[in-house]
Structure 1
């Protein structure tokens, strides 16, 4: 699935996921993420994704409760997230600007060193998103 391919290339903690539902304005996603040595975390989120012309993409996501996804099993903790990005191509078509925000409550007890490690890794998602865009453009 296209969603899983993108997530695997942009977030190394992504384990599995799927698009649960699509309507006129939003997509409902489920994803499971791993941060050893913790139990996996899963998230259910609704995302608004808008492409403005050919040079700008905006996505904003927020955790939601959904009957489409039952509560996780015993070895998984359901977290809460708010995230989004803006990708804007420069006029010359040779570069782009990425603005990314991500706030996650992993729920449960998490040692400080793991919180710091995960936060620094999430910051690297900007680089991975830009690399994904470059690779996608070069394959066209």
Structure 2
């Protein structure tokens, strides 16, 4: 499956592109959207989904996380999650907590779509009162698209994050976020390769 190339007409700018990795950026007013797309070899879609959905091990693939926990399951495919980042996390995430919903849908062709976004503040406060020293963060949009390929031992993963930094985003922050996107998928790839499936050991 070919990688999607950046197109100046639709506002996307491709940042790094190497070894099957593509990260793009688009700005619309104050909103910044960062999708990264990866061709993962030696990791099946099932292996990736297994490790990406294991929230209890989320700190293994995002070192900035201090806590990740399910608050409530609303439906079989809809959950409320609390994410907390510590004082040493990267800017925008530093000392932030996010109360988000996660919805999971599997398409007819086996593609998994996972959508994550912050709950409205009033609803989040009713489900989980804000901690005294934490700052409520706003995650407008995040999520995964995991596509099966003809090679059953590989998959295509798209990871999207949309932020509202309320103004200009410094170049150094963009670079840090790019690095964070790369490291998250790289860590998930390593965990996925170590994950046994279909009775394999």
TM-score (norm 2): 0.57
1:137: Cα distance to partner?
3.8
Structure-2 change in CA distance of 1:103 and 1:40 (3 Å)? same
**8 Å CA contact retained: 2:113, 2:144:** yes
**8 Å CA contact retained: 2:64, 2:90:** no
TM-score (norm 1): 0.78
Number of matched pairs: 136
**Distance between the aligned counterparts of 2:173 and 2:158, measured in 1?**
22
Please say which structure displays the higher CA radius of gyration.
Answer: 2
Higher relative contact order (CA 8 A, sep 6+): 2
**8 Å CA contact retained: 2:112, 2:145:** yes
Task: Report matched runs for 1:1-140 at 5 Å.
Answer: 2-5=54-57, 7-24=58-75, 25-34=77-86, 35=89, 39-52=94-107, 55-65=110-120, 66=124, 67-74=126-133, 76-81=134-139, 82-105=141-164, 112=170, 115-124=173-182, 125-137=184-196, 140=201
Select between 63-72 and 126-135 the one with higher mean Cα deviation: 126-135
Structure-2 change in CA distance of 1:60 and 1:118 (3 Å)? same
1:52: Cα distance to partner?
4.1
1:61: Cα distance to partner?
0.7
1:84: Cα distance to partner?
0.7
Select between 124-133 and 111-120 the one with higher mean Cα deviation: 111-120
Structure 2 segments unaligned to the other structure (5+ residues): 1-53
- Indicate the SS of the match to 2:146: strand
**CA RMSD after TM alignment:** 3.0
- Indicate the SS of the match to 1:71: coil
1:88: Cα distance to partner?
1.6
- Indicate the SS of the match to 1:136: coil
